[in-house]
Structure 1
């Protein structure tokens, strides 16, 4: 990927180039120009894939420069740099098919998000010239790794990664070649996350490539980073899961008397699927949701039997959500150890 950075301020231009260099995309070539006119001259020699340009510049300002670019090139991605005071110019720039914009001051995170959006619109466009079999293998591997990480399935993650490692070893790729291929894997990996969760994972390729001096070390560092990312995903999801479980507990306490109370009803109330609800409830509470409903109803029935010795036991069972008295009696004895009648006689 070839990027041309255009800004008349040397400090900003050099700082932006440094930030771009940290994104860790393979085969990245970054050039610079101090104004629009110089940029046009450089583009005649080497057409860039992406322009990152300031708006206010001498000789040829950013907006006029973009107009000139679009007269000749329709497929170049363009990102403009702007301050809040210049924000009205963004509208004109957007009319000229500007891809995105960055508000100053520019942070590494914001820059990476913008570049990621560009890359992930069409990941195949940025894949190096490698065989189609490799491309298919890269895409399949990255998608399976991402799906395993999202599902927090460590076993499947490890299985997929080992298959990829074996493939690279069988093909006899060198350390340099594997580093380049891993860059493509990461791009598709990020793409899968964006399509599934609308979330861009941070790049961890740069630090790995710098540290790894052998193929074994490269794969070890990669797998460690994938596990750390999966743990991060789990931590991010946990608060949401706990909130859902708390909502479930509250809903059950308010509706346990309903004999038709079901996991589907609870899931619909919480806005999630029954499968998802069952999974996260078991993960957080360490027991099935159906078991908790039974236990909660039994606790309510025990309290009623202890405090209300006049109401018939079958009516208490109904009022606690047990529509079938023989079932209530059976489940009560199984969990408490004695029948409802024996329990009442014992506690009253």
Structure 2
């Protein structure tokens, strides 16, 4: 995997290159740039697989660099590096189809995870969706065009909804800020994380009721609610009916068949 690193601070740039050269993935740093203009020219000449770019650079910043590359039809994956989480920057990154957004200082562990995902993308594999997962009714199959990070978040929700799971937890696992995660999730899913998780848990509760389970308290715990009264309140909020009403209607419907 051929990589260009664009970072105006020499010490930081060299540190990133050292980390890239020390990871297990097959990575070759083919060039370095201290500003966006130089980086754009190097991308044109070398056609790298991936570009790691800082946001703040002289002459042409990271966002301008990515926009110019897209306008020129240059096919490369971009990883944006930022010293702080910024809502407006996050919005711009999403609109430009940035692959990853990482906060400084980088850790080797986070870098290895990102490179593993990038390597699969570059090789033409869909790291986010295996053949067995396609059209299987999974959460990700309902949002096929969502941002890769959102697809990974949906996987985590599907696997971990029975346990305590927060927006901060998912953001940390994805290596991005909670603010950035909140924005991309709501943009691609259509609602905020907390509301989505509540609705998903209630859908799972309904599935268990449909499968014949009748212990309301047990089902509440099974779908991730530690407070049964809260489960009842959320159930009514989502379905418009309380649990008892739902079960009564369900029983009457079955008896009428």
* TM-score, structure 1 normalization: 0.35
Give the greater-gyration-radius structure (CA). Answer: 1
The structure in which a higher percent of residues are helix is 1
* TM-score, structure 2 normalization: 0.47
Q: Which has the higher contact order (CA 8 A, sep 6+)?
A: 2
